[in-house]
Amino acid sequence: MIVSVAFDSGGAAAVRDFIRPAEPVRIDPLFRELMGWDAALCDRAAAPTYPNLIDERHVVADLYNMTNVPMAVWIDESGNIVRPAEVAGTCDEFRSMDRSTFQMKKDAIERAKAVRGTYVDAIRDWVANGESSEYALSAGEVRRRVHAPANVDPLATANFRIGQYLHRQGHTQDARRYFQETRRLCPERWNYLRQTMQLEEDGSASGPEFFRALDALGDRPFYAPVELKKTGG
């Protein structure tokens, strides 16, 4: 079963049109090119029928150490984590995008498409083969890949939730101070950074401040490459 999670403090109203669109799904040609989706794939686009959780407080993100989107966790029928939180079928090719036109070079689109296809194929292999899949990790390898929260993470979470509360109460300027502290404490938690920016100003999660933070990474990845095959014991 697929369960999608939307990290959006705006709640159902903010994501309803994406999750349960009133009209048939139509994908903008520019977005199709950006994502590397061909016409055959777009023709199959439909509203999701699987459960969609709206995680306004980012509780799931905290529990599974999700720091960006899209990320995925694989959990088997017994409730055991088969693969801990990892980047789900995307890569840093979008960083080569022309920010004025949102166009990408064909080779970058093809590389991004290949990464997505490889990850989806890995999920399909696991669904078909279960624990014998070459992509299903051992308990020891799962533990190796799980990263414990940093010492500042609980404090960043506290600031984020206080900011959320103040924002809901209409105290936007007071909320801003807590949101800024959240970003200072955990700049690598992109879900916090983008969510707090979005609450401060609608649309800013993909605006100039986000791209300044992205550029500040230099040669460091925004999406960490995923080690798909089994390693270790």
Query: Where do the structural domains in the chain lie, given as residue ranges?
Result: 4-145, 153-215
Determine phi and psi for 61, rounding to 5 degrees.
-60, -45
Q: Using alpha carbons only, how large is the chain's radius of gyration in Å? A: 19
- Is the whole model's pTM more than 0.85, yes or no? yes
Predicted pLDDT of residue 103? 85
Half-sphere exposure of 40 (CA within 13 A, CB side): 0
- Measured CA to CA, the distance from residue 106 to residue 94 in angstroms comes to 12
Per-residue pLDDT of the chain (233 residues; tens, 9 = 90+): 999 999 888 888 888 888 888 777 777 877 777 676 778 888 888 888 899 999 988 999 999 999 999 999 999 999 999 999 999 999 999 999 898 888 888 899 889 989 999 999 999 999 999 999 999 999 999 999 998 778 888 999 999 999 999 999 999 999 999 999 999 999 989 999 999 999 998 888 888 889 999 999 999 999 999 999 765 44
The answer to whether residues 92 and 223 touch, using CB atoms and an 8 Å cutoff, is: yes
Predicted pLDDT of residue 72? 97
Determine phi and psi for 48, rounding to 5 degrees.
-65, 145
- Measured CA to CA, the distance from residue 205 to residue 194 in angstroms comes to 5
The answer to whether residues 50 and 2 touch, using CB atoms and an 8 Å cutoff, is: yes
